[in-house]
Structure 1
Amino acid sequence: MPSGAGRAVCGVYEIHPERVERARAALPEEGLLQRAALLLKALSDPTRMRLLLALRAAGELCVCDLALLAGVSVSAVSHQLRLLRQARLVAFRREGKQVYYRLADQHVEALLEGALAHAEEDT
């Protein structure tokens, strides 16, 4: 394989100011960018994805149910759910001492569907 084959390399250093400005103008403000990055970071763990997909399928589950499904301890699930709550990917409700989790909204479901569809595509 020739040197550089398979890698994206700029053959000529050339700036395209109108394209750069159009891209710069389309970038969101920094706070929104940070929140979006936090959201994607929260999705980057297979255990958290498993929890989210279980919630998508079941609608609502408690920590014990999620621990059984994910094959990890209740404390590990609680930690993962805390991260998912911080990223606003899950919501919860209390019923006595029991806490039930669900996907936060339709955007989360769309993110999960998009991630799975993209992962299934042939490269």
Structure 2
Amino acid sequence: MPEREETSPATPGHQRPPGKEQLETATTVFALMADPTRLYLLWLLSRGEADVTELAASTEAARPAVSQHLAKLRLAGLVQARKDGRRMVYSLRDGHLRRLVTEALSHADHQVTGESWHA
């Protein structure tokens, strides 16, 4: 069976034109992703769960700064947290965000490397 190029949204509910609320919500997501540290945190979480200590070490950012970024992402509903003993473990809320982060960074990689574009 040939591979199907994914050009349509995953579910029929996503095929309707966006309303004002959807556009405003999407704009908020893009605004939060516009910060390099937050985008990197989202990319790290797209690879799996992590706690603040792991994320701070990976980003080389101060733990309080990472905590503040995570609080913003959590407040916006982009990440979720669960308690594991004394630590909070963070993860992405859904696959849409995971794909959005991956696609944004893949697009940037093409621009930075000059690699040819693909459909």
TM over 0.5: yes
DSSP-derived class of the 1:76 partner: helix
Q: How far does the alpha carbon of each residue in 1:3-47 deviate from its partner, in whole angstroms, 9 at most, with x for none?
A: xxxxxxxxxxxxxxxxxxxxxxx7532222111111111111110
CA distance in 1, matches of 2:104, 2:95: 14
Query: Is there any run of 5+ residues in structure 2 with no aligned partner, and where?
Result: 1-15
CA distance in 2, matches of 1:102, 1:90: 6
Partner of 2:50: 61
Matched, 1:84 2:73: yes
Matched, 1:31 2:21: yes
Matched, 1:101 2:90: yes
DSSP-derived class of the 2:39 partner: helix
DSSP-derived class of the 1:91 partner: strand
Please report the TM-score for the alignment, with normalisation by the length of structure 2.
0.73
Please report the TM-score for the alignment, with normalisation by the length of structure 1.
0.71
CA distance in 2, matches of 1:117, 1:66: 21
